[in-house]
Amino acid sequence: AFAGWAAASFLAVEGGAGPYAGLISVISLLMALLVCQSRVESGLHSVYQVVIGAVVGILVTIAAFQLL
């Protein structure tokens, strides 16, 4: 979920979203947080798993954008 947020934020800023880049980033972050919350509430993942997944997702997204 957080990889999607990071990707949307990078694309909004680099893609020339202009004044909407911040809004796109905030909406994407809220959606990622809702997905994480639902995963923990339903018992599919623990908080630890969600945090580790978020960190890995963000790092992979940053690495991918560095390669492009």
Work out the mean pLDDT of the chain and round it to a whole number.
83
Instruction: Let me know: does 9 contact 26? Beta carbons within 8 Å.
Output: no
Nearest to 68 by CA among 3, 5, 7: 7
The string of pLDDT tens digits covering residues 32-68 is 889 999 999 999 999 999 999 989 988 988 888 788 6
What single-letter amino acid sits at 56? V
Give the SS3 label for residue 68: coil
**Residue 64 contacts by C-beta under 8 Å, 6 or more apart in sequence?**
7
Determine the pLDDT at residue 50.
93
E-assigned strand segments in 24-67: none
Range of the domain at 60: 2-67
Report the domain count for the chain: 1
